[in-house]
Amino acid sequence: MESPAGNLAFTPRRTEAGGSPRALLTIKRVASFLGVLLLLALFLLPLAYGIFTSLKSDSQLTAVSAPVLPASLEQFESGGRAYDVYLVPMTDGTVKRLALVEKGRDSSRFMDPKNPGAALIEWKGAWRTLDAAWRIDFRWGNFLTAWKTIDFLRLLLNTLMYASISTVGALCSAAFVAYGFSRFNFPFRGAAFLVLMATIVLPPSVTLIPTYSFYFSIHWVGTWLPLIVPTFFANAYNVFLLRQFMMGIPRELDEAAKIDGANPMRTFFSIIIPQAVPALVVVVLFHFFFCWNDFFGPLIYLAGQPGRFPISVGLTKFFNMYVRQNSLVQASALISTAIPACIFLFAQRYLTQGIVVTGVEK
């Protein structure tokens, strides 16, 4: 077919053999979405297992044919007695929920819970081969039992005190040290920063005995001081993270503040700190969660002081006492994660927040 402009032929654009580009793009998006859902389900599977286990009874955890969801054995009360309900196959191919009234070797008699006044149903077969009937039953009382079994309130207060004070110390000290390394030129700055970073490579087990001997000699063992005081002298991980972040803040902002008459401390609090909020929040969250989960330090320095134990050490004692009651163990573990989960949900937007710096004309 000739075009109006001349002899140029117009040929329509052919699509690929697999379909139109828009259809292929839709298929790719759906596949990506399903893949993300699958990864999310795999990631949340342990949490779902813990939640379901905490709401189950001990009989369900030990039963062979128990359902996945929290449930309890179904019973039917009649005449002041409780009868177990079973799934009984009938001659017509249906399966009914019947209450076992009279047990027998070769035959048993059942009652229909929907029609208790009717005659008993005689079923031929061994009743032990029948599957028990379950009904959905969430045991919310497991959380109350776990709360009352150990002094959870004391453990939570101890952990909050330890995590809060040490987080403040770690944040303040790391922020000041990182500000000095990122903004000031002083002799042997590179060597000092290298020595600080070298402490990351040093295994904690190497310094365990000397530090314990030192704290024991000054009578700090048995108190919170060995766990809290060192956090006020900066941590190499936190210093490195904040220093790298602060080095990305334009120095023109410091020069502008200096022209306006701001001293280094005023620049630190008015310029650097507001710009470094995302990095500061990351340091706070990481150190808070570290203190919340810290087990080895409190176990060593607070030995013999059960009234000062944090939740990590207290839960270990609880687990040893109720090692066979998985429902109570899972309930106590979920209680201990409630506060960190709330803090993370509140501060997660700061983790993904980037730094926005206004350009400065030169």
**Do residues 307 and 125 touch, judged by C-beta distance below 8 A?**
no
DSSP assignment of 190-217 equals HHHHHHHHHHHHS-HHHHHHHHHHHHHH
Parse the chain into domains and list their residue ranges.
Answer: 75-132, 143-351
Of 237, 238, 275, 233, residue with least CA distance to 253: 275
pLDDT surpasses 50 at 361 = no
**Three-state secondary structure call for residue 106:** coil
Does the pLDDT value for residue 132 go beyond 60? yes
- The confidence score (pLDDT) of residue 356 equals 38
pLDDT at 352: 63
Of 201, 167, 190, the C-alpha closest to 243 is 190
In the predicted structure, residue 229 carries a pLDDT above the cut 90: yes
Asked if residue 270 lies in contact with residue 157, where contact means CB atoms within 8 angstroms, the answer is no
Mean pLDDT of 323-343: 85
Q: Which residues contact 212 (CB under 8 A, 6 or more apart)?
A: 221, 300, 301
For residue range 170-215, list pLDDT tens digits in order. 999 999 999 999 999 989 999 999 999 998 888 888 889 999 999 9
Q: In the predicted model, is pLDDT for residue 1 greater than 50?
A: no
What confidence tens digit (pLDDT) does each residue in 18-34 have?
457 888 888 989 999 99
In this predicted structure, what is the pLDDT of residue 351? 66
Report the 10 Å Cβ neighbour count for 289: 15
**Residue predicted with more confidence, 302 or 9:** 302
**Per-residue confidence (pLDDT) for residue 180, from 0 to 100:** 93
Token pair 């709330």 in the structure block, residue:
342
Strands (DSSP E) along the chain, which ranges?
Answer: 71-73, 75-78, 81-89, 95-102, 107-111, 121-124, 131-132, 134-136
Distance CA(258)–CA(150), nearest Å, equals: 57
Please list the residues that pair with 81 across neighbouring strands: 78
State the Cα–Cα distance between residues 64 and 51, nearest whole angstrom: 20
CB 90 within 8 A of CB 96: yes
Between helix 338-351 and helix 277-293 the angle, nearest 10°, is 160
Task: Give yes or no for residue 339 having a pLDDT over 60.
Answer: yes
Q: Is the pLDDT of residue 124 over 50?
A: yes
Question: Which residue in 327, 341, 347, 7 sits closest to 146, CA to CA?
Answer: 327
Judged against a pLDDT cut of 60, whether residue 220 lies above it is answered with: yes
Q: Half-sphere exposure of residue 241, counting CA atoms within 13 Å on the CB side?
A: 22
CA-nearest of 351, 334, 343 to 46 is: 334
Please give the pLDDT value at position 148: 84
Three-state SS at 10: coil
The residue type found at 288 is F
Architecture of domain 143-351: Orthogonal Bundle (1.10)
What pLDDT was estimated at residue 359? 35
Instruction: Report the percent of the chain where pLDDT is more than 70.
Output: 91
The per-residue pLDDT for range 33-88, each reduced to its tens digit, is 999 999 988 988 888 888 999 999 888 888 877 888 899 889 998 888 899 999 99
pLDDT over 70 at 338, yes or no:
yes
Task: Give 82's strand partners.
Answer: 77
19 vs 26: CA distance, rounded Å = 11
The pLDDT value given to residue 353: 58
**Residue 88: strand, helix, or coil:** strand
Taking a C-beta distance cutoff of 8 angstroms, is the pair 104, 120 a contact?
no
Q: What is the pTM of this model?
A: 0.76
pLDDT higher than threshold 60 for residue 257: yes
| pLDDT 10s digits, 139-174 | 999 999 888 888 888 999 999 999 999 999 999 999
pLDDT level of residue 319 (50, 70, 90 thresholds): confident
Share the mean pLDDT of the chain. 85
pLDDT over 80 (residue 231) = yes
**Contact call for residues 41 and 103 (beta carbons, < 8 A):** no
Dump pLDDT digits (tens) for 269-288.
Answer: 999 999 888 889 889 988 99
Q: Which tokens belong to 296?
A: 């080895």
